Amino acid sequence: MDTEVLNVAIIGCGWVADWHVQDGFAHLPKRFNVLACCDRDIERAKQFAERYRVERVVGDLGEVLSMPDVDVVVICTPPALHYSMVVACLRKGKHVVCEKPFVASLAQVDAVIAEEAKSTARVMPIFQYRFGDGLAKVRHVIRSGLAGKHYVSSIDTAKRRDANYYQVEWRGKFATELGGVLLTQAIHIHDVLLWLVGPVQAAACFKTTRVNPIEVEDCAVASLQLHDGSLASLSATLGSARQTTRLRLCFENVTFEKTGHDENSSRPADEPWTVIPRVPELAAAIEQKMAEVAPGSAWFVRQYELFHEALASGAPFPVTLADARASIELVTGLFAASESCCVVEFPIGADHPKYNGWFDAPLYTNDAGA
Ligand SMILES: NC(=O)c1ccc[n+]([C@@H]2O[C@H](COP(=O)([O-])OP(=O)(O)OC[C@H]3O[C@@H](n4cnc5c(N)ncnc54)[C@H](O)[C@@H]3O)[C@@H](O)[C@H]2O)c1
């Protein structure tokens, strides 16, 4: 049977929208056709359309939602706009893919979950750092039980952002970016940690702004207690001389390590990972387990392949609303812990003072999508 080609519309034709096409749809022409693009800066949308030969160019989400032949809307706009756009798409029966950070609060994630339940359409949040053969193998060993008990993990996100980066109007402010390094950069690696050894049971955190003259945090450290009593430490900065991400996961039978520099700092799922068995006798069993994972594609391509398969079969998406909720819950807990200098217990429920958001500034919305 032929695979169905899904018509896609991309909303927000900036930096990350290029990745969705170059590192995703361009590799999957039998599954996706980028039919429309939309940006309130119409010149930017036109240039995007020219780069990727996109047939339709519009300046407003409402115009996309009135196109009956658009199957999937991909939201690549600044963070404060995600919620209203996701809801507008669901109400028009369009499947939605939405960039991170998914929305601005746990209350908003729960509202999207309720909207999805009423809609014929489905939502997939983006966490493309998850996808690649190296991490797939590590996760397979952990899930098989062979790694044994998780003891402790340390996760570093050391990125570099200078004044140039903050020239884009929406960055650096709570009302538009919603948060800093914890929300915008480290959210990916923290999602990987939660995917491997979560959920979180309790968190402590310090955060500060020291690198750039911005409103949101650009340095943070946190300690986590996980559901099984094991521990993790997180550090995140936007002031690193060299961009580096580092994961070290220490289990009863094996330690997994991954360091990525420069461009590879965004690709923690790629091979190689360093896998150190506790005793040499375990090496063969771990290697055999890792060999059970068939090699596949990575990053956006893999997430979109799995998205297409899941839409066809009705299976869960490779990143679910529950995953987006866990990432927003972690940020909520870290902000609450930092503000109160107290340990915050998870899960964070609707009665928590930060359930409706981790900052007080009013959200900026420039869209009339909803
Ligand atoms: N997954 C990743 O690794 C990754 C990387 C970078 C950015 N992001 C996320 O992607 C989102 C966009 O970031 P970016 O760096 O591409 O931003 P950007 O500023 O480069 O692009 C955003 C675009 O949205 C357009 N826009 C704003 N309001 C709009 C509206 N109402 N309707 C239509 N278009 C509108 C802007 O004109 C701009 O062209 C953010 O949520 C960001 O956190 C994710």
Question: Does 164 sit in the ligand 1 pocket, CB within 6 Å?
Answer: no
Question: Does 40 sit in the ligand 1 pocket, CB within 6 Å?
Answer: yes
Q: What's the distance, Cα to Cα, between the start and end of the chain in Å?
A: 37
Question: Does 366 sit in the ligand 1 pocket, CB within 6 Å?
Answer: yes
Report the C-alpha gap between 295 and 257 in whole angstroms.
20
What is the pLDDT, as a whole number, of residue 360? 81
Report the C-alpha gap between 321 and 123 in whole angstroms.
7
Render pLDDT for 35-73 as a digit per residue (tens, 0 to 9): 999 999 999 999 999 999 999 999 999 999 999 999 999
- Where the chain has pLDDT below 70, the residues are 1-2, 365-370
**CATH dotted code for 129-294:** 3.30.360.10
Question: Does 46 sit in the ligand 1 pocket, CB within 6 Å?
Answer: no
Which residue lies with its CA nearest to atom 5 of ligand 1? 16
Task: Count CA atoms within 13 Å of residue 227 on its CB side.
Answer: 10
| Cα 176 to ligand 1 centroid, rounded to whole Å | 11
Question: Does 76 sit in the ligand 1 pocket, CB within 6 Å?
Answer: yes
What is the pLDDT, as a whole number, of residue 370? 40
The SS3 of residue 229 is coil
Fold category of 6-127+302-320 in CATH: Rossmann fold (3.40.50)
Where are the domain boundaries for CATH 3.40.50.720 in the chain?
Answer: 6-127+302-320
- Number of CB atoms found within 10 A of residue 70's CB: 20
6 in Cβ contact with 308 (< 8 Å): yes
What pTM was computed for the model? 0.97
Which pair of tokens denotes residue 246?
């580092």
In ligand 1, which atom is closest to the CA atom of 126?
1
Kindly tell me the sign of the dihedral angle through the C-alpha atoms of 18, 317, 319, 289: negative
Question: Does 287 sit in the ligand 1 pocket, CB within 6 Å?
Answer: no
| Cα 259 to ligand 1 centroid, rounded to whole Å | 27
Which residue has 């047939």 as its token pair? 55
Question: Does 78 sit in the ligand 1 pocket, CB within 6 Å?
Answer: yes
| Cα 16 to ligand 1 centroid, rounded to whole Å | 6
The SS3 of residue 319 is coil
Report the C-alpha gap between 57 and 45 in whole angstroms.
6
What is the pLDDT, as a whole number, of residue 367? 53
Question: Does 15 sit in the ligand 1 pocket, CB within 6 Å?
Answer: yes
Report the C-alpha gap between 357 and 361 in whole angstroms.
10
